[in-house]
Amino acid sequence: MVSKIGLVGGGQIGGVLLSDIVSRGLAREVGLVDVKPPALAEGKCLDVAEGSPVIGRDFAYSASKDFSALKGAQYVINTAGVPRTKRPDGTMPTREELLTINLSITDAVAAGIKRYCPKATVISIANPLDAIVYRLYQKLGISKNKLIGMAGVLDSARYRYFVAQEAGVSVENVEAMVLGGHGDTMVPIRSACRVAGMPVEQFVSAGALKKIEDRTRKAGGEVVGLLGSGSAFVSPAWSALEMLEAIIYDKKKILPVCTLLEGEYGVKGLFVGVPAVIGAGGVEKIITVKMTAEEKKLFKNSVAAVQNTANEVDKLTKALAKKPAKKLAKK
């Protein structure tokens, strides 16, 4: 058990993170930050605290609208952001406007972490994942091992689930990896997919695998469509907690994570989804996967998409530096 875990964002994902951290007994204290009035963070924490006697877990918490609740946290999970919803006047924000708002939120999150828990290891879930992790790294100034984006664990879990369903076997039997950026270009690595250690093709036909891979790329949108509002929240929270537990318990677990590449895979200066050993040091070692020629091509294409996003972030943040964040958030 660690002394304190900080959570930024107490919405759908933040709520599951909070209740699971308490029920799994991962920390003595949780600090929850959310700007939502009247006092969402306090309300979420009080709800869990009042349930804690029922599950026999002592739960200390700090909750705030500013970042003070993060004080002293050893680990932080970031889910702060604004989803793509209609404005009160009925219009939709453009992708660029939404990204600008989320980048200004990200800058505030980085400043909060730097002020209250500069030594924390940070796992970021907020979307657009690739853009936000890239920006957090620019603003946090921490070692690259201590900032990890969560996308690959979830994308791989979705792939594993679909394969398990198709093969008629337990999800526990299926190992898989989805790499690259967290978007339509993500790359399910079929050659690394195993069912109880055996090649997946022994259990699932090539045609069915192709359908599964397409579904995996669009799985986030499928859930959004079914929910009607909001996006997947249980599976992303559990995925981030798998990463957090690997760090807390120094498991040295190989997981697909969004991490800074500095020459690995021929990529420099970009956060891209690749497998890495996750332990007490955060990202301890990047693993190079042998890919087929086709997978290499798809991975390269995905890296190009991540590069475009990074360029867009650089362009927008230059503009952001000239405008006060509040003005942008009101748009």
Is the CB of 85 or the CB of 311 nearer to ligand APR?
85
Q: Which of 4, 146, 160, 182 is catalytic?
A: 182
**Cβ(179)–Cβ(287) under 8 Å?**
no
Active site annotation includes 182 = yes
Site map (CB under 6 A) of ligand APR, residues 167-206, x = contact: ----------------------------------------
Residue 155 C-beta: closest distance to ligand APR, Å: 12
Residue 90 burial (10 A CB sphere; 0-12, 13-18, 19+):
exposed
| Residue 93 is a binding residue for ligand APR (CB under 6 A) | no
**Cβ(6)–Cβ(70) under 8 Å?**
yes
Is the CB of 112 or the CB of 279 nearer to ligand APR?
112
CA-to-CA dists, residue 282 to 71, 95, 255, angstroms: 20, 31, 11
Alpha helix (H) residue ranges in the chain: 12-23, 40-55, 95-116, 129-140, 152-167, 206-217, 219-227, 234-248, 293-322, 325-330
Instruction: Choose which of 29, 34, 130, 213 interacts with ligand APR (CB under 6 A).
Output: 34
Residue of this chain nearest to ligand APR (CB atom): 11
| Residue 12 is a binding residue for ligand APR (CB under 6 A) | yes
Q: Cα(5)–Cα(244) distance, rounded to whole angstroms?
A: 10
Residue 12 C-beta: closest distance to ligand APR, Å: 3
Q: Cα(232)–Cα(314) distance, rounded to whole angstroms?
A: 28
* Amino acid at the residue 218: K
Residue 65, Cα to own-chain centre: how many angstroms? 22
Q: Cα(133)–Cα(246) distance, rounded to whole angstroms?
A: 20
Site for ligand APR in 51-90 (CB under 6 A): 79-83
For 270, phi and psi rounded to 5 degrees? -125, 150
Number of amino acids touching ligand APR (CB under 6 A): 26
Instruction: Choose which of 2, 35, 60, 224 interacts with ligand APR (CB under 6 A).
Output: 35
Stretch that binds ligand APR, among 32-40, 42-50, 252-260, 295-303 (CB under 6 A): 32-40
CA-to-CA dists, residue 16 to 65, 93, 190, 232, 240, angstroms: 19, 28, 31, 11, 11
Q: Cα(45)–Cα(305) distance, rounded to whole angstroms?
A: 38
| Residue 9 is a binding residue for ligand APR (CB under 6 A) | yes
Residue 88 C-beta: closest distance to ligand APR, Å: 16
| Residue 233 is a binding residue for ligand APR (CB under 6 A) | yes
> Cis peptide before 199, with omega less than 30 degrees from 0?
no
Residue 294 C-beta: closest distance to ligand APR, Å: 29
Residue 69 C-beta: closest distance to ligand APR, Å: 10
Instruction: Choose which of 6, 10, 149, 279 interacts with ligand APR (CB under 6 A).
Output: 10
Handedness of CA 160, 255, 213, 12 (dihedral sign): positive
Site map (CB under 6 A) of ligand APR, residues 114-143, x = contact: -----------xxx----------------
Q: Cα(25)–Cα(52) distance, rounded to whole angstroms?
A: 11
Residue 147 C-beta: closest distance to ligand APR, Å: 16
Is the CB of 105 or the CB of 179 nearer to ligand APR?
105
| Residue 320 is a binding residue for ligand APR (CB under 6 A) | no
Q: Which residues are tagged catalytic?
A: 182
The binding site for ligand APR (CB under 6 A) comprises 8-14, 33-36, 40, 79-83, 105, 108, 125-127, 230-231, 233, 236
